[in-house]
Amino acid sequence: MPKHIVRLLILMVLFAAFAYGAKQYFTVGSYYSYGHYRGNAVADIASDKPKFKGSASCAPCHAEQSTEWSSGVHNSAELGKVVKCEVCHGAGGERDVKGPFEPAPTGRDHPDHLKLAIPTDTAKLCTLCHEQMAGRPAQQKQIVVATHAGTLQCTTCHDPHSPRTIAGAVLATAPPGDPAAGKAMAAVCAGCHGAPAAAGPSLDGQREAYLADAIRAYKAGLRANPIMLAMVQNLSDANIRDLAAYYAGQSCRSAGNGETAAAAASEAAITANCVVCHGADGVSRQPLWPNLAGLSRNYLAEAVKSYRDGGRKNKSMSAMASGLTDINAADLAAYYSNISCR
């Protein structure tokens, strides 16, 4: 073979060896398992599911929420309808990590390396499954958001972990009071709670559970009022239930103040949020939420301001009243005191 052909062959072999070496050296480790160059990489990554750990795994560390949830309606295992913790809070484990820098067999886990979010906008989250829709099967409970919740978060009224629990609805099991016994005791109350112009608000036709709860609140100091504290501090719980049963059985009388102009002006402002608990007609939707129909203008305004300023402490009402000015309170009072009892 001529000498120059041998030299050429040697050069070609050296070049091939160099090129192969360079390819080995410069290609990153993940090039074939991960990168953009492989046709099925996207499908591969997509099929790598987040790692759900199951609701049982949360129990050891979040006992309170787990107990509420287990006994609640969102854990109806016998019907095959279970809304698991991770449906609302996201997966407890991340996708497997295959990158060049973290070659771990599994991804990051809660709680050590992964924070789980608390859903902030339940008006969005809960309506995914509960907003009324034409095609949604009737077995799935549905609500019309505007009339059911207004602009409020679902968690204002529902416990997210046991959503049949409505805020404050704890006294449903109290034994009923005896109205006749209550009537006898109410003689001392009549001076302030009888006539429309009396010092205290009208109690006639008010919700029974609410009346009992309000009296307990004066007794416990949650409502700071020296007169009422003196009136009720010696009442037993049975006395309280009897009084509540008596007043709830009376018929409500409208406080009608005749100021229709003020009422009309404030109507739009209130309808958004107050009506979902107190009703547009002033009749509340739930036994522990008071009717506002029949209450006088002054009393309504003072009560709203009192929740705002802390004299009365109640989670729902303090939140509702916190943004109101004195003028708002007066408008709201004008509206509700004008409503007629039915």
The one among 97, 166, 181, 280 contacting ligand HEC by CB under 6 A: 166
Q: What are phi and psi of 131, to 5 degrees?
A: -70, 140
Cβ nearer to ligand HEC, comparing 50 with 98: 50
**d(C-alpha 216, C-alpha 295), whole Å:** 20
Q: Which of 154, 255, 283, 293 binds ligand HEC (CB under 6 A)?
A: 154
Please, what sign has the CA dihedral across residues 72, 288, 233, 318?
positive
Residues between 83 and 102 that touch ligand HEC (CB under 6 A)? 83, 85-89, 92
Query: Which positions from 269 through 298 interact with ligand HEC, judged by CB under 6 A?
Result: 270, 273-274, 276-278, 285-286, 288-290, 292, 295
Question: Applying CB under 6 A, does 4 fall inside the site for ligand HEC?
Answer: no
Site for ligand HEC in 21-40 (CB under 6 A): none
Smallest distance, ligand HEC to C-beta of residue 26, A: 41
Residue 316: which of 157, 161, 146 has the closest Cα?
Answer: 157
d(CA 139, CA 302) in angstroms, rounded, equals 44
Q: Find the binding residues for ligand HEC in span 50-89 (CB under 6 A).
A: 53, 55, 57-58, 60-62, 65-66, 69, 73-74, 76, 79, 81, 83, 85-89
**Residue with Cβ nearer ligand HEC (7 or 81):** 81
Rule CB under 6 A: which of 222-241 touch ligand HEC? 223, 225, 227-228, 231-232
Name the maximum alpha-carbon separation found in the chain.
132
Burial code (b: 16+ CB inside 10 Å, e: under 16) for 135-165 equals eeeeeeebeebeebbbebbbbbbbbbbbbeb
Q: Of 278, 308, 309, which Cα lies nearest the Cα of 294?
A: 278
Stretch of residues binding ligand HEC (CB under 6 A), selected from 5-13, 22-30, 43-51, 160-168: 160-168
d(CA 336, CA 266): 10
If binding is defined by CB under 6 A, does position 266 make contact with ligand HEC? no
Sign of CA dihedral 116, 118, 124, 127: positive
Residue 183 is a binding residue for ligand HEC (CB under 6 A): no
Length of the chain: 342
Q: Which of 41, 97, 123, 171: binder of ligand HEC (CB under 6 A)?
A: 123
Rounded least distance, CB 214 to ligand HEC, Å: 4
